[in-house]
């Protein structure tokens, strides 16, 4: 696991209960926490872009 990547690192501080819940979710989906959080951020950014498009039109 791990290796060279062209991805950037982002550090965030979250409450312990969020971390535990995210870890359980990632484990249940057989994914890493990094992958799960990246997908959640991607989804949030897509929604934000959609909302920005609506405002612009």
pLDDT greater than 70 at residue 1: no
Please answer whether residues 22 and 36 qualify as being in contact, where contact means their C-beta atoms are separated by less than 8 angstroms.
yes
Structure tokens at 15: 């409450």
Distance CA 45, CA 18 (A): 20
Tokens 């405002």 sit at which residue? 55
Q: Which residue has the higher pLDDT, 49 or 1?
A: 49
Residue 56 confidence class, pLDDT cut points 50, 70, 90: confident
Q: Which DSSP category does 29 fall into?
A: T
Structure tokens at 50: 């959609």
């Amino acid at each position: 696991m791990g290796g060279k990547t062209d991805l950037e690192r982002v550090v965030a501080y979250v409450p312990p209960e969020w971390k535990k819940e995210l870890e359980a979710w990632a484990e249940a989906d057989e994914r890493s926490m990094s992958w799960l959080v990246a997908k959640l951020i991607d989804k949030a950014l897509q929604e934000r872009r959609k909302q920005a498009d609506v405002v612009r039109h």
